[in-house]
C-alpha cells in the first residue's frame, strides 16, 4: 500500500516496488495521477490496483484496505506518504486551510497506520513505513502546517513503536526523514507567498527518497535519514536550536521562493480538491536537484563501513606490534 501515490515521492515509491514485481495498491485523490502511477508500476514489472481515496477519511482508508486484501492478498508493507500544505506565513492561513493540511498530512498517516495494524497485528508480521522529514525536527518559516504535522507524526511514531514492543509484536514500524525533494508539490500545493514555492536547498530527486523507503521496508532500522542536510538539521535542532532559528529567520523565507510569482494553480492548489492532470514524480527543479546522495549510500552500508573501520583498526594495531 502506498498513500500519496499519484505524484512526487509517493509516485517514485510505487514505481520502485513495481520494479520488484510487487502487487502495489495505489491510494491518492486524483484519478489522473493514479492512472499514471498504475502505468508506471505495470511498466516496471509490477501489478497495480489504483484506488481513489482521501486519506483524511478513516472509513475510506479502511474500505480501501479491505478491497486490497480481497483483490491482492494480505498487505505486507504499508507506506504512509500522502501530504498537502499551504505555503504562507502562519497568520495568513485560515483555520479551515490549516485543519485540512493537518488532516491529510498527519491524520492520513494515523488512519493508514490504524488500518495496517488491524491486519498486521493478528498475523504478527508486516512493515509500516512513515515518510517523515527533516522538518519533523526543526520547523521553518512559511511551512507551519507541514512542520506541525511532521512533528506530530514523529511523536505518533514513537508511541506506536513502544506499544508494539510492549505487546511483543512482530510488526515493524520505521520512519524515513527526507530533505528538500524535487516534487510537483511546489506546483500543486496552495501558496500565499509573493514568490513561487521551491524546495530548500540542497534538493534531491524523488527516486533517492523512494530508494530509502524501499530499503526501510526491508530492514529493521528505526529511523532513516536521507541527505546530508537532514543530518545537519537534526543535529542543529538538538544542539544549537537558537543558532538554527537565527539562520532560518535570515535565509529560509527567501530561500523557499523563486523570483517569479506563484502560478495561477497555486492559488487554490490541491488542498481541498485534487487538480486534474498527471504530474509524475519529478517537479520543475531538476536543474538543481541531485541524482545521488553520498550520505544515504553510506548510511545504507554503515554496517559494512563499521566493519571495515574495525578491520583497519585491527590491522593497524597488528602492524604496530609487528614493527615493535
pLDDT over 70 percentage in the chain: 93
Residue 314: pLDDT over 80:
no
pLDDT attached to residue 97: 98
Q: Tens digit of pLDDT for each residue in 150-201?
A: 999 999 999 999 999 999 999 999 999 999 999 999 999 999 999 999 999 9
Domain count, the chain: 1
Residue 274 lies in a domain: yes
Q: How far apart are CA 141 and CA 154, in angstroms?
A: 19
Looking at residue 113, its pLDDT comes to 98
Question: What pTM did the predictor assign?
Answer: 0.92
**Residue 132 structural domain:** 2-292
Please report whether residue 313 resides in a domain: no
Residue 95 grid coordinates:
483555520
* CA distance linking residue 151 with residue 278, whole number of Å: 30
pLDDT tens digits, residue range 118-161?
Answer: 999 999 999 999 999 999 999 999 999 999 999 999 999 999 99
Q: Please indicate, yes or no, if residue 302 is contained in any of the structural domains.
A: no
- Please state the rounded mean pLDDT for residues 40-68: 98
Compute the mean pLDDT over every residue in the chain, rounded to the nearest whole number: 93
Q: What is the mean pLDDT of residues 32-55?
A: 98
Judge whether 134 and 244 are in contact, CB under 8 Å: no
Q: What is the CATH number of the domain that holds 146?
A: 3.40.50.720
Amino acid at each position: 500500500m502506498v498513500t500519496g501515490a499519484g505524484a512526487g515521492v509517493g509516485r517514485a515509491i510505487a514505481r520502485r516496488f513495481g520494479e520488484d514485481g510487487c502487487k502495489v495498491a495505489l491510494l491518492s485523490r486524483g484519478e489522473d495521477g493514479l492512472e499514471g502511477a498504475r502505468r508506471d508500476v505495470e511498466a516496471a514489472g509490477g501489478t497495480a490496483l489504483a484506488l481513489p481515496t482521501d486519506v483524511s477519511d478513516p472509513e475510506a482508508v479502511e474500505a480501501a484496505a479491505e478491497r486490497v486484501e480481497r483483490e491482492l492478498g494480505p498487505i505486507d508493507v504499508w507506506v504512509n506518504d500522502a501530504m498537502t500544505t499551504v505555503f504562507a506565513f502562519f497568520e495568513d492561513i485560515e483555520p479551515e486551510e490549516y485543519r485540512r493540511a493537518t488532516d491529510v498530512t498527519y491524520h492520513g498517516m494515523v488512519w493508514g497506520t490504524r488500518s495496517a495494524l488491524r491486519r498486521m497485528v493478528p498475523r504478527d508480521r508486516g512493515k509500516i513505513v512513515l515518510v517523515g522529514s527533516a522538518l519533523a525536527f526543526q520547523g521553518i518559516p512559511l511551512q507551519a502546517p507541514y512542520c506541525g504535522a511532521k512533528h506530530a507524526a514523529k511523536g505518533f511514531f514513537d508511541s506506536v513503536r513502544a506499544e508494539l514492543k510492549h505487546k511483543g509484536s512482530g510488526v515493524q514500524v520505521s520512519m524515513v526523514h527526507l530533505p528538500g525533494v524535487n516534487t510537483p508539490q511546489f506546483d500543486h500545493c496552495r501558496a500565499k507567498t509573493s514568490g513561487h514555492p521551491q524546495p530548500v536547498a540542497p534538493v534531491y530527486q524523488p527516486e533517492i527518497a523512494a530508494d530509502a523507503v524501499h530499503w526501510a521496508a526491508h530492514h529493521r532500522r528505526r529511523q532513516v535519514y536521507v541527505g546530508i542536510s537532514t543530518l545537519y538539521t537534526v543535529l542543529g535542532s538538538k544542539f544549537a536550536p537558537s543558532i538554527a532559528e537565527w539562520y532560518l529567520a535570515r535565509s529560509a523565507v527567501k530561500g523557499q521562493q523563486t523570483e517569479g510569482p506563484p502560478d495561477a494553480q497555486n492559488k487554490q492548489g490541491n488542498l481541498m480538491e485534487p487538480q486534474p492532470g498527471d504530474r509524475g514524480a519529478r517537479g520543475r527543479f531538476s536543474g538543481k536537484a541531485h541524482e545521488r546522495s553520498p550520505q544515504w549510500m553510506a548510511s545504507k552500508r554503515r554496517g559494512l563501513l563499521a566493519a571495515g573501520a574495525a578491520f583497519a583498526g585491527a590491522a593497524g594495531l597488528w602492524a604496530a606490534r609487528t614493527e615493535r
